């Protein structure tokens, strides 16, 4: 996790929609503290990325993100399967945000129960996307402050 004085956070997106990735990347570029490090198209690729396998072994080129933006409906390994996999890994400081087209309460509850820190439905409006990114930026800043103070942050949805 980035230190408060640095105020820079690395963001990785996992979504099979190139359009959604591009639109969110554009919104992230309008913030001072969130740096988009890339996008992946499915959960299997994310597992390779986070474990540093194959082409992802260079951590300077493929750093572990501070925040993971995760779609639920993807090929090969979906978002729920990724969340289940993450439970057994040592990425406790990484904030996991589910960005999904689904606003079904069972999807939201399941994602939070599996360890997502935040759940938000995808936004069509550029203004709403920017508001979401600002909210996520503020959440990361609060989490760093809380960590520096020795406390824990509750999950939000």
Largest CA-CA distance found in the chain, in angstroms, rounded: 40
- Residue-by-residue pLDDT tens, the chain, 157 positions: 544 445 789 999 999 988 888 888 999 888 889 999 999 999 999 999 999 998 999 999 999 999 999 999 998 899 999 999 999 898 888 999 999 988 899 999 999 999 999 999 987 888 989 999 999 998 888 887 887 777 555 555 5
Q: What does the pLDDT read at residue 116?
A: 95
Residue 53 structure tokens:
């396998």
Burial of 103 (0-12, 13-18, 19+ CB in 10 A): exposed
Residue 73, number of CB atoms within 10 A of its CB: 14
pTM value is 0.86
Domains delineated in the chain: 9-140 (3.40.50.2300)
Q: Within 13 Å and on the Cβ side, how many CA atoms surround 58?
A: 3
CB 1 within 8 A of CB 148: no
């Amino acid at each position: 996790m980035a230190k408060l004085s640095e105020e820079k956070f690395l963001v990785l997106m996992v979504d099979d929609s190139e359009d959604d990735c591009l639109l969110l990347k554009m919104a992230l570029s309008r913030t001072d503290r969130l740096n988009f490090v890339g996008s992946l198209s499915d959960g299997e690729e994310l597992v390779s990325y986070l474990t540093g396998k194959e082409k992802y072994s260079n951590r300077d080129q493929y750093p572990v993100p501070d925040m993971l933006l995760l779609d639920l409906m993807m090929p090969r390994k979906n978002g729920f399967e990724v969340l289940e996999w993450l439970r057994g890994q040592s990425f406790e400081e990484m904030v996991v945000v589910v960005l999904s087209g689904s606003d079904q309460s069972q999807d939201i509850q399941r994602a939070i129960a599996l360890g997502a820190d935040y759940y938000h439905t995808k936004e069509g409006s550029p203004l709403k996307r920017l508001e979401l990114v600002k909210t996520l930026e503020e959440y990361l800043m609060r989490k760093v402050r809380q960590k520096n103070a020795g406390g824990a942050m509750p999950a939000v949805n």
